[in-house]
Amino acid sequence: MSSPTSTRTITYSEAIREGIGQAMEADDSVFMLGEDIGVYGGAFGVSGDLYHRFGPERIRDTPISELGIVGAAVGAALAGMRPIVEIQFSDFTNQAMDQIVNQAAKIHFMLGGAASVPMVLRAPLGSGTGAAAQHSQSLEAWFAHVPGLKVVMPATAEDAKGLLLSAIDDPNPVIVLEHKLLYRTSGPVPEEAVRIPLGKTAVRRTGADLSIVATGVMVSRALEAAETLAAEGIEVSVIDPRTLSPLDDAPILADVARTGRALLVQEAPGHVGFMAEIAARISESPTLYRLLAPIKRLSGLNAPIPYAPQLETASVPQVDDIVEAALTIMKES
Protein backbone atom coordinates (compact mmCIF):
# COMPACT_ATOMS: atom_id res chain seq x y z
CA MET A 1 0.00 0.00 0.00
CA SER A 2 1.35 3.39 -0.86
CA SER A 3 -1.10 5.56 1.06
CA PRO A 4 0.69 8.34 2.89
CA THR A 5 1.19 7.81 6.56
CA SER A 6 1.13 10.41 9.26
CA THR A 7 3.47 10.18 12.17
CA ARG A 8 3.37 11.73 15.62
CA THR A 9 5.53 11.35 18.67
CA ILE A 10 4.46 8.68 21.13
CA THR A 11 6.27 6.48 23.61
CA TYR A 12 7.72 3.07 22.92
CA SER A 13 5.07 1.43 25.11
CA GLU A 14 2.25 3.42 23.48
CA ALA A 15 3.59 2.29 20.13
CA ILE A 16 3.46 -1.35 21.17
CA ARG A 17 -0.05 -0.94 22.57
CA GLU A 18 -1.20 0.78 19.39
CA GLY A 19 0.24 -2.03 17.28
CA ILE A 20 -1.49 -4.69 19.35
CA GLY A 21 -4.78 -2.77 19.21
CA GLN A 22 -4.61 -2.42 15.43
CA ALA A 23 -3.73 -6.08 14.95
CA MET A 24 -6.61 -7.12 17.19
CA GLU A 25 -9.04 -4.90 15.32
CA ALA A 26 -7.92 -6.30 11.99
CA ASP A 27 -7.90 -9.96 12.95
CA ASP A 28 -10.14 -11.73 15.46
CA SER A 29 -7.60 -14.50 15.91
CA VAL A 30 -5.15 -12.12 17.58
CA PHE A 31 -5.39 -12.06 21.36
CA MET A 32 -3.16 -11.40 24.34
CA LEU A 33 -2.45 -13.47 27.40
CA GLY A 34 -0.24 -12.87 30.39
CA GLU A 35 -0.02 -11.91 34.04
CA ASP A 36 -1.75 -8.69 35.15
CA ILE A 37 -2.36 -7.43 31.63
CA GLY A 38 -6.08 -6.77 32.30
CA VAL A 39 -7.34 -4.14 34.75
CA TYR A 40 -3.80 -3.69 36.05
CA GLY A 41 -2.67 -2.75 32.54
CA GLY A 42 0.55 -4.78 32.53
CA ALA A 43 3.56 -4.70 34.85
CA PHE A 44 5.11 -1.98 32.67
CA GLY A 45 1.78 -0.48 31.64
CA VAL A 46 2.05 -1.72 28.07
CA SER A 47 -1.41 -3.26 27.71
CA GLY A 48 -2.94 -0.16 29.35
CA ASP A 49 -6.56 0.30 28.26
CA LEU A 50 -6.66 -2.65 25.85
CA TYR A 51 -8.66 -4.62 28.41
CA HIS A 52 -11.36 -1.97 28.36
CA ARG A 53 -11.41 -1.97 24.57
CA PHE A 54 -11.32 -5.69 23.92
CA GLY A 55 -12.53 -7.33 27.13
CA PRO A 56 -11.33 -10.20 29.27
CA GLU A 57 -11.56 -12.90 26.58
CA ARG A 58 -9.02 -11.28 24.29
CA ILE A 59 -6.92 -9.50 26.90
CA ARG A 60 -6.69 -12.54 29.06
CA ASP A 61 -5.31 -12.38 32.58
CA THR A 62 -3.59 -15.57 33.65
CA PRO A 63 -2.42 -17.13 36.90
CA ILE A 64 1.30 -16.88 37.62
CA SER A 65 2.31 -19.90 35.61
CA GLU A 66 4.61 -19.03 32.73
CA LEU A 67 4.98 -22.58 31.48
CA GLY A 68 1.22 -22.90 31.29
CA ILE A 69 0.83 -19.53 29.61
CA VAL A 70 3.37 -20.20 26.89
CA GLY A 71 2.11 -23.75 26.46
CA ALA A 72 -1.43 -22.45 26.02
CA ALA A 73 -0.19 -19.99 23.43
CA VAL A 74 1.65 -22.73 21.55
CA GLY A 75 -1.51 -24.82 21.46
CA ALA A 76 -3.72 -21.90 20.47
CA ALA A 77 -1.31 -20.96 17.71
CA LEU A 78 -1.23 -24.54 16.41
CA ALA A 79 -5.03 -24.45 16.37
CA GLY A 80 -5.19 -21.33 14.25
CA MET A 81 -5.07 -18.40 16.66
CA ARG A 82 -2.42 -15.69 16.82
CA PRO A 83 -1.61 -15.29 20.49
CA ILE A 84 0.59 -12.56 21.90
CA VAL A 85 2.10 -13.63 25.20
CA GLU A 86 3.39 -11.07 27.65
CA ILE A 87 5.93 -12.41 30.11
CA GLN A 88 6.43 -9.81 32.84
CA PHE A 89 10.21 -9.95 32.80
CA SER A 90 12.19 -11.88 30.20
CA ASP A 91 13.99 -13.58 33.09
CA PHE A 92 10.78 -15.54 33.74
CA THR A 93 10.88 -17.16 30.32
CA ASN A 94 13.13 -19.60 32.15
CA GLN A 95 9.99 -21.12 33.67
CA ALA A 96 8.66 -21.69 30.18
CA MET A 97 11.80 -22.82 28.38
CA ASP A 98 10.45 -26.24 27.50
CA GLN A 99 7.49 -24.72 25.71
CA ILE A 100 9.65 -22.11 23.96
CA VAL A 101 12.67 -24.21 23.03
CA ASN A 102 11.41 -27.79 22.77
CA GLN A 103 7.86 -27.12 21.65
CA ALA A 104 7.28 -23.79 19.89
CA ALA A 105 10.63 -23.76 18.09
CA LYS A 106 10.45 -27.38 16.95
CA ILE A 107 6.88 -28.15 16.02
CA HIS A 108 6.86 -26.85 12.47
CA PHE A 109 10.05 -28.74 11.69
CA MET A 110 9.06 -31.92 13.49
CA LEU A 111 5.78 -32.04 11.64
CA GLY A 112 7.55 -31.69 8.34
CA GLY A 113 5.96 -28.33 7.78
CA ALA A 114 2.41 -29.59 8.26
CA ALA A 115 1.58 -27.04 10.95
CA SER A 116 3.07 -23.85 12.30
CA VAL A 117 3.14 -21.90 15.54
CA PRO A 118 2.33 -18.25 14.76
CA MET A 119 2.83 -16.84 18.23
CA VAL A 120 4.54 -13.78 19.62
CA LEU A 121 6.24 -13.75 22.99
CA ARG A 122 6.94 -10.23 24.25
CA ALA A 123 9.12 -9.67 27.29
CA PRO A 124 11.11 -6.79 28.78
CA LEU A 125 14.83 -7.33 29.15
CA GLY A 126 17.81 -5.45 30.51
CA SER A 127 19.10 -3.61 33.54
CA GLY A 128 18.88 -0.07 34.84
CA THR A 129 15.92 -0.24 37.19
CA GLY A 130 17.50 -1.59 40.37
CA ALA A 131 15.62 -4.85 40.00
CA ALA A 132 18.82 -6.88 40.42
CA ALA A 133 19.97 -10.28 39.24
CA GLN A 134 16.70 -12.12 38.62
CA HIS A 135 14.89 -9.28 36.84
CA SER A 136 17.60 -7.58 34.76
CA GLN A 137 19.14 -10.09 32.42
CA SER A 138 19.73 -9.82 28.70
CA LEU A 139 19.19 -13.37 27.46
CA GLU A 140 18.80 -12.61 23.76
CA ALA A 141 21.69 -14.86 22.77
CA TRP A 142 19.91 -17.87 24.26
CA PHE A 143 16.91 -17.42 22.04
CA ALA A 144 18.89 -16.44 18.97
CA HIS A 145 20.81 -19.71 19.34
CA VAL A 146 17.71 -21.86 18.89
CA PRO A 147 16.74 -22.76 15.31
CA GLY A 148 13.04 -22.16 14.79
CA LEU A 149 12.77 -18.99 16.83
CA LYS A 150 12.89 -15.49 15.44
CA VAL A 151 14.24 -12.86 17.81
CA VAL A 152 13.79 -9.10 17.58
CA MET A 153 15.05 -6.29 19.80
CA PRO A 154 13.36 -3.00 18.93
CA ALA A 155 15.40 0.07 19.86
CA THR A 156 12.94 2.83 18.90
CA ALA A 157 9.23 3.46 19.28
CA GLU A 158 8.70 3.14 15.54
CA ASP A 159 10.51 -0.20 15.46
CA ALA A 160 8.63 -1.41 18.52
CA LYS A 161 5.35 -1.05 16.66
CA GLY A 162 6.52 -2.00 13.19
CA LEU A 163 8.49 -5.08 14.20
CA LEU A 164 5.68 -6.24 16.48
CA LEU A 165 3.16 -6.03 13.65
CA SER A 166 5.45 -8.13 11.47
CA ALA A 167 5.94 -10.56 14.35
CA ILE A 168 2.18 -10.99 14.66
CA ASP A 169 1.88 -11.64 10.91
CA ASP A 170 4.76 -14.10 10.92
CA PRO A 171 3.84 -17.79 10.86
CA ASN A 172 6.65 -18.63 13.30
CA PRO A 173 7.23 -18.11 17.00
CA VAL A 174 8.80 -14.68 17.40
CA ILE A 175 10.43 -13.49 20.62
CA VAL A 176 10.20 -9.71 20.99
CA LEU A 177 12.64 -8.40 23.59
CA GLU A 178 11.69 -4.91 24.68
CA HIS A 179 14.09 -2.88 26.80
CA LYS A 180 12.65 -1.65 30.10
CA LEU A 181 14.49 1.65 29.88
CA LEU A 182 12.97 2.33 26.47
CA TYR A 183 9.29 2.03 27.45
CA ARG A 184 9.06 5.70 28.38
CA THR A 185 11.23 7.03 25.58
CA SER A 186 9.39 8.48 22.62
CA GLY A 187 9.80 9.00 18.93
CA PRO A 188 7.88 9.47 15.69
CA VAL A 189 5.58 6.55 14.91
CA PRO A 190 3.21 6.18 11.96
CA GLU A 191 -0.47 6.20 12.91
CA GLU A 192 -1.22 3.45 10.44
CA ALA A 193 -0.31 -0.18 10.98
CA VAL A 194 2.98 0.11 9.12
CA ARG A 195 5.09 -3.04 9.21
CA ILE A 196 8.85 -3.09 9.59
CA PRO A 197 10.03 -6.35 8.07
CA LEU A 198 11.78 -8.88 10.25
CA GLY A 199 15.36 -9.61 9.28
CA LYS A 200 16.31 -6.14 8.05
CA THR A 201 19.21 -4.39 9.73
CA ALA A 202 18.90 -0.60 10.20
CA VAL A 203 21.75 1.80 9.64
CA ARG A 204 20.91 4.61 12.07
CA ARG A 205 23.75 6.91 11.19
CA THR A 206 26.61 6.81 8.71
CA GLY A 207 30.17 7.94 9.37
CA ALA A 208 33.52 7.46 7.69
CA ASP A 209 35.71 6.38 10.60
CA LEU A 210 34.16 3.61 12.64
CA SER A 211 31.16 1.25 12.57
CA ILE A 212 29.39 0.76 15.88
CA VAL A 213 26.99 -2.18 16.00
CA ALA A 214 24.61 -2.01 18.95
CA THR A 215 21.40 -3.62 20.15
CA GLY A 216 18.54 -2.59 22.44
CA VAL A 217 19.17 0.37 24.71
CA MET A 218 22.80 0.42 23.53
CA VAL A 219 21.60 1.85 20.21
CA SER A 220 20.60 5.14 21.83
CA ARG A 221 23.77 5.13 23.94
CA ALA A 222 25.83 4.58 20.78
CA LEU A 223 24.02 7.46 19.04
CA GLU A 224 24.74 9.70 22.01
CA ALA A 225 28.38 8.63 21.98
CA ALA A 226 28.44 9.36 18.24
CA GLU A 227 27.57 13.00 18.97
CA THR A 228 30.42 13.33 21.43
CA LEU A 229 32.81 11.65 19.00
CA ALA A 230 31.67 13.91 16.16
CA ALA A 231 32.59 16.89 18.31
CA GLU A 232 36.10 15.42 18.45
CA GLY A 233 36.17 14.96 14.69
CA ILE A 234 35.46 11.24 14.62
CA GLU A 235 32.55 10.20 12.42
CA VAL A 236 30.90 6.91 13.29
CA SER A 237 28.15 4.73 11.86
CA VAL A 238 25.60 3.25 14.22
CA ILE A 239 24.06 0.02 13.03
CA ASP A 240 21.17 -1.75 14.71
CA PRO A 241 20.49 -5.32 13.55
CA ARG A 242 16.94 -5.13 15.07
CA THR A 243 16.33 -8.77 14.22
CA LEU A 244 18.93 -10.99 15.86
CA SER A 245 17.60 -14.11 14.24
CA PRO A 246 17.48 -14.44 11.29
CA LEU A 247 20.34 -11.97 11.04
CA ASP A 248 20.72 -9.58 8.11
CA ASP A 249 24.49 -9.15 8.22
CA ALA A 250 25.08 -7.60 4.78
CA PRO A 251 24.65 -3.95 5.88
CA ILE A 252 26.97 -4.58 8.83
CA LEU A 253 29.68 -6.19 6.73
CA ALA A 254 29.40 -3.47 4.10
CA ASP A 255 29.70 -0.66 6.61
CA VAL A 256 32.64 -2.24 8.44
CA ALA A 257 34.36 -2.86 5.09
CA ARG A 258 33.94 0.85 4.35
CA THR A 259 35.19 2.22 7.71
CA GLY A 260 37.69 -0.55 8.47
CA ARG A 261 36.82 -0.44 12.16
CA ALA A 262 34.18 -2.23 14.21
CA LEU A 263 33.00 -1.60 17.76
CA LEU A 264 30.35 -4.06 18.89
CA VAL A 265 28.27 -2.96 21.87
CA GLN A 266 25.86 -5.03 23.92
CA GLU A 267 24.43 -4.93 27.41
CA ALA A 268 24.60 -8.71 27.84
CA PRO A 269 27.77 -10.31 29.17
CA GLY A 270 30.36 -10.66 26.42
CA HIS A 271 31.18 -14.32 26.88
CA VAL A 272 29.39 -16.30 24.15
CA GLY A 273 27.18 -13.32 23.49
CA PHE A 274 25.41 -12.07 20.36
CA MET A 275 28.27 -9.72 19.44
CA ALA A 276 30.60 -12.72 19.30
CA GLU A 277 28.45 -13.81 16.37
CA ILE A 278 28.85 -10.45 14.67
CA ALA A 279 32.62 -10.60 15.21
CA ALA A 280 32.67 -14.08 13.73
CA ARG A 281 30.68 -12.98 10.68
CA ILE A 282 33.13 -10.15 10.06
CA SER A 283 36.07 -12.53 10.43
CA GLU A 284 34.52 -15.08 8.10
CA SER A 285 33.95 -12.58 5.32
CA PRO A 286 36.25 -10.59 3.05
CA THR A 287 35.51 -7.63 5.32
CA LEU A 288 38.25 -9.08 7.53
CA TYR A 289 40.91 -7.93 5.02
CA ARG A 290 39.61 -4.37 5.20
CA LEU A 291 40.08 -4.01 8.96
CA LEU A 292 42.45 -1.28 10.08
CA ALA A 293 42.21 -2.27 13.75
CA PRO A 294 41.16 -5.37 15.68
CA ILE A 295 37.43 -5.78 16.19
CA LYS A 296 36.46 -4.54 19.64
CA ARG A 297 33.57 -5.79 21.77
CA LEU A 298 32.12 -3.75 24.60
CA SER A 299 29.78 -5.81 26.77
CA GLY A 300 28.27 -6.11 30.20
CA LEU A 301 30.50 -7.66 32.85
CA ASN A 302 30.46 -11.42 33.08
CA ALA A 303 28.53 -11.11 36.31
CA PRO A 304 24.91 -11.09 37.41
CA ILE A 305 23.35 -7.62 37.55
CA PRO A 306 23.69 -6.23 41.09
CA TYR A 307 21.18 -4.12 43.03
CA ALA A 308 23.11 -1.04 44.19
CA PRO A 309 22.82 1.72 41.55
CA GLN A 310 26.54 2.41 41.37
CA LEU A 311 27.25 -1.30 40.95
CA GLU A 312 24.54 -1.69 38.33
CA THR A 313 25.83 1.23 36.28
CA ALA A 314 29.35 -0.15 36.47
CA SER A 315 28.13 -3.52 35.16
CA VAL A 316 26.96 -2.48 31.70
CA PRO A 317 28.32 -0.13 29.02
CA GLN A 318 27.48 3.54 29.45
CA VAL A 319 27.87 6.35 26.90
CA ASP A 320 31.33 7.27 28.21
CA ASP A 321 32.49 3.69 27.88
CA ILE A 322 31.45 3.67 24.23
CA VAL A 323 33.27 6.93 23.58
CA GLU A 324 36.38 5.61 25.26
CA ALA A 325 36.30 2.32 23.36
CA ALA A 326 35.87 4.19 20.08
CA LEU A 327 38.85 6.41 20.87
CA THR A 328 40.93 3.34 21.71
CA ILE A 329 40.14 1.77 18.32
CA MET A 330 41.01 4.99 16.56
CA LYS A 331 44.35 5.10 18.37
CA GLU A 332 45.11 1.48 17.56
CA SER A 333 44.78 2.05 13.84
Partner 1 sequence: MPLSPLLDVDRGRAALRTMWQIRRFEEAVDDLFARGLMHGTMHLSIGQEASATGVCLALTDGDAITSTHRGHGHCIAQGADLVRMMAELLAKETGYCRGRGGSMHIADVATGNLGANGIVAGGIPIAAGAALAYQMRGEDHVVACFFGDGAANEGAFHEAVNLAAIWKLPVVFVCENNKYGMSFSTEKSMAIDTVAERAKGYGIPGVTVDGNDLEAVHEAASDAVARARAGEGPTLLENVTYRWKGHSKSDKNLYRTKEEITEWRGKDPIVRFEERLRSEGVLTQEDVDAVRAQALEDVRNAVREANSAPDADPTDLLDAVFASA
Ligand X SMILES: Cc1ncc(C[n+]2csc(CCOP(=O)(O)OP(=O)(O)O)c2C)c(N)n1
Given candidates 58, 67, 115, 224, which one binds partner 1 under the rule CB under 8 A?
Answer: 67
CA distance 160 to 216: 11
Are the CB atoms for 180 and 124 separated by under 8 Å?
yes
Residue 52 interacts with partner 1 (CB under 8 A)? no
| Shortest separation between residue 61's beta carbon and partner 1, angstroms | 5
Given candidates 55, 197, 294, 309, which one binds partner 1 under the rule CB under 8 A?
Answer: 309
Q: Which of 135, 140, 267, 312 is catalytic?
A: 135
Distances (CA, A) of 89 to 28, 66, 270, 292: 27, 11, 21, 40
Which residues, 51 to 80, sit near ligand X by CB under 6 A?
64, 66
* CB atoms closer than 10 angstroms to residue 100: 29
| Residue type for position 112 | G
- Write the DSSP symbol of residue 22: H
Judged by beta carbon distances under 5 to 8 A according to partner kind, the member of ligand X, partner 1, none in contact with residue 39 is partner 1
CA distance 297 to 279: 8
CA distance 330 to 294: 10
- Of the listed pieces 32-40, 147-155, 198-206, 289-297, which binds partner 1 according to CB under 8 A? 32-40
Decide if 52 is catalytic. no
Binding residues for partner 1, total number by CB under 8 A: 40
Residue 315 interacts with partner 1 (CB under 8 A)? yes
Judged by beta carbon distances under 5 to 8 A according to partner kind, the member of partner 1, ligand X, none in contact with residue 294 is none
- Write the DSSP symbol of residue 290: G
The 68-107 site mask, x for binding partner 1 (CB under 8 A), equals x----------------------xx-xx------------
CB-based contacts of 138, cutoff 8 Å, min separation 6 = 125, 126, 127, 177, 216, 266, 267, 268, 269, 300
Decide if 145 is catalytic. no
CA distance 241 to 278: 10
Residues at the contact surface with ligand X, assessed by CB under 6 A = 35, 64, 66, 88, 92, 95
Residues at the contact surface with partner 1, assessed by CB under 8 A = 35-36, 38-41, 43, 45, 61-68, 91-92, 94-95, 129-135, 301-304, 306-311, 313-315
Active site (catalytic) residues = 66, 135
